[in-house]
Amino acid sequence: MLAVLAPGQGSQKPGFLAPWLDLPGAEGRLRWWSALAGNDLRYLGTEAGAEEITDTAKTQSLLVASALLAAEHLPMYDVAVVAGHSAGELGAAALAGVLAPESAIALAGVRGRAMAAACALEPTGMAAVLGGEPDEVVAAIEGAGLHPANRNGAGQIVAAGPVAALEKLVAAPPAGARVRPLRVAGAFHTPYMAPAEQELAGLAGGIRPGDPHKIFLSNLDGAAVTTGREVVQRLIRQVIASVRWDRCMQSMAELGVTAIIELPPAGTLAGLVKRALPGVEIVKVETPDDLAKARDLVARHGGKPGAQPAPRFRVVVGSAAGNFIPDPSLSEGSDIRSGQVIGHVATRQGQVDVTAHDSGVLTEWLAHHDDPVAPGQPLARIGGQLV
């Protein structure tokens, strides 16, 4: 089984898009997408310097455009699984058929500008914590008043929050770990991005998504999401939620992924997969010269979703704000029936049932007793088999 991955912010390099302009129609495509994104994508990908392409307001649409431009030259109909890291999820959603490419580019432009504006409200940042025992690292991050913004697997967790708290974490790292400050504008994927989440949520009513025709793995929890509406809800929420790339890679392993293609600007996700999933064949598409290798990988590992049995992952989400109370008779490993009430959300107006919309096994609680939850928040993960 083959997965195609779209990288996120931080993977860009000056001039990385230049070789792609030699492909027929590429320059015209970039001009059109630039109008939708509100950024000159051709200039950013070919002439802009390193500092300019780290600008959050500009970079996100550039990354989505580069991934989609390369994917147009691959036989994507034989790709079973897609996933993207952070802003790369917008590109992955387009590859899965949830968003039109034009919608993904436009949303990336809005998302980048909204997140850049949120970064300007107060001094925040991010730092990579490398090594250490994961649970201890997360505890140390939270104990410092920070958020685990990215859990990337392979011994890498990114802390985010106030600059002063990050400086203390750098000075006193968790046991067995080292902390490396990142050159970013602010605390992405934390509550500090709430204004950006609200701006994107205001656009949601105008989006008409399609249901994914490939297995789309969500950054929120690694789940395979099967409705376009839920994908869009998750894309919006992901602005303030931790990127669980570790769980995306776990899902790839459970699905039986044997090969991955990373779209440009490639390298970051391929490195994480190489360490976390040894034995998986990897092609990094950095220039058009790599397309032949990528097509060969598709020919050897590709296959349409549903061509063979594969694990399915679904999440149960809440429909109201309040405190989650799981059914005490259920535990991880319990069999769940479609329509079964697995708990409720206690609100000021009373209790709201939380119902599973699919059958399977309760593989993981994503919220626990009395946790505060928001509408659309994933509460439990259900696994099963596609037949």
Residue 4, pLDDT above cutoff 90: yes
Tell the CATH superfamily of the 2-119+192-301 domain: Malonyl-Coenzyme A Acyl Carrier Protein, domain 2 (3.40.366.10)
Distance CA 247, CA 231 (A): 16
For the beta sheet containing 378-385, the strands, ordered from the edge strand earlier in sequence to the opposite edge, are: 311-317, 378-385, 360-365, 335-336
Q: Is 213 a catalytic residue?
A: no
Residue with tokens 């107060």: 122
What tokens appear for 153 in the block?
């697997």
Output Rg (C-alpha) for the chain, integer angstroms.
20
Which whole number is the average pLDDT over 263-288?
95
User: What is the CATH architecture of 311-385?
Assistant: Beta Barrel (2.40)
Provide the pLDDT for residue 307: 42
**Where exactly are the structural domains of the chain?**
2-119+192-301, 124-184, 311-385
Contact at 8 Å (CB) between 87 and 10? no
Please check whether the domain covering 124-184 is classified as CATH 3.30.70.250.
yes
- Confidence label for 386 from pLDDT (cuts 50, 70 and 90): very low
Residue 310, pLDDT above cutoff 60: no
Among residues 286, 282, 281, which one has the least CA distance to residue 264?
286
Residue 304, pLDDT above cutoff 60: no
Residues 82-97 have pLDDT tens digits of 999 999 999 999 999 9
Neighbours of 301 (CB within 10 A): 20
Provide the pLDDT for residue 184: 86
Counting residues of the chain whose pLDDT is more than 90, the rounded percentage is 72
Mode of pairing for the β-strands spanning 2-6 and 341-347: unpaired
For the beta sheet containing 147-153, the strands, ordered from the edge strand earlier in sequence to the opposite edge, are: 147-153, 156-162, 124-131, 177-182
Residues 12-29 have pLDDT tens digits of 999 999 999 998 889 999
For the beta sheet containing 322-326, the strands, ordered from the edge strand earlier in sequence to the opposite edge, are: 350-355, 341-347, 322-326, 371-373
Provide the pLDDT for residue 385: 43
Catalytic residue, from 61, 103, 147, 189: name it. Answer: 189
Mode of pairing for the β-strands spanning 124-131 and 177-182: antiparallel
Q: Is 86 a catalytic residue?
A: yes
Catalytic residue, from 61, 86, 218, 251: name it. Answer: 86
Provide the pLDDT for residue 2: 96
What's the chain's average pLDDT? 90
In sequence order, which residues have a C-beta less than 8 Å from that of residue 350 and are 6 or more positions away?
none
What's the sign of the alpha-carbon dihedral 334, 337, 338, 343?
negative
